[in-house]
Structure 1
Amino acid sequence: MIDLTVNGRAERHDGDPAMPLLWYLRDSLGLTGAKYGCGVGLCGACTVHVEGEAVRACMTSVGDAAGKAVVTIEGLDPAGDHPLQKAWRQLSVPQCGFCQAGQIMQAAALVATNPAASPDEITEAMSGNICRCGCYQRIHAAVRQVVGGA
């Protein structure tokens, strides 16, 4: 039995502790914001927070998250009003939208740990998240807007 907290709610997993956290979130809890992209932790579409750190849910097992707080895009701000979500809308960041939850979660971890991130720090922090549509300039601009560097 694995106990964890997901978006502020106590949850229990009684299955295989090696199950990827992504499948637990999507299939068991119905939280489909984190997406399956590459399956090897390289694209960032499945990014969630575990204890405030951005992690790839496809490479993190449920067992790795035992006793920890997990936050998905659905729990970042249930009303969708996190400053990054507002900036994303204001700057019309997404094109297809597939990677955007992972992009926002990666950016939210950066903003939480470095609220005055420089443009170079933003680029470095976001470099592991792939956008197939090439929306990198708008993503960068939205993060800069939130850290006050717009």
Structure 2
Amino acid sequence: MTKVTLTVNGRAMSGECEDRTLLVHFIREKLGLTGTHVGCDTTQCGACVVHMDGHSVKSCSILAVQASGSTITTIEGLAGQGELHPVQAAFKEHHGLQCGFCTPGMVMTAVDLINREGGTLTEETVRAGLEGNICRCTGYHNIVKAILAADAEMATGRQAAE
């Protein structure tokens, strides 16, 4: 067993696990944060996306011991207590979800995309940015619409802050 120490959603957390434990399983089983979903365990679906040191990663492709010392943000830590992040609010407002299974990974991917390319997103860049995130319910139209709306809102907020 190896001790893994992470900063998760702003809090120092640690636990022991086997060296072969995937980060997604460590987050869910050892830390009890079940918002990050296990879909395929093969990096195909994107349901397990979290932010590691500020960038989106598929947590089923990283061993927990590899992530030790990193800062992790899960869907639970994306917004303040009792609030929604602008991307979460846009998904709700624009009906960007149906069953909700893919939603945490989609939201985390979208936040990273907006953080990297915000203010310049188009339908094409959003669709390309979501490659690797599978939704079996929605057809992506409302997901793309939600991300574009969140991007516009967040760009307005950035301009107002300047």
Corresponding position of 2:86: 83
Once residues 42 and 66 of structure 1 are traced to their aligned partners in structure 2, the CA distance between those partners, rounded to angstroms, is: 24
Identity %: 36
Matching of residue 108 in structure 1 with residue 106 in structure 2: no
Q: Map 1:1-150 to 2 at 5 A.
A: 1-77=3-79, 78-119=81-122, 120-148=124-152
Structure 1 residue 147, shift from structure 2 partner = 1.4
Structure 2 runs not aligned, ≥5 long? 154-162
- The amino acid of 1:90's aligned partner reads E
Structure 1: unaligned runs, 5 residues or longer: none
- 1:104 Cα offset (Å): 0.3
Report the 3-state secondary structure (helix = DSSP H, G, I; strand = E; otherwise coil) of the residue aligned with 1:121. helix
Q: Identify the range of structure 1 (12-21 vs 105-114) with the bigger mean alpha-carbon deviation.
A: 12-21
Aligned-pair Cα RMSD in Å:
1.4
TM-score by length of 2: 0.86
Number of aligned residues: 149
Aligned-partner Cα distance in 1 for 2:111–2:120: 12
CA contact (8 A) 2:42 2:61 kept: yes
Larger radius of gyration: 2
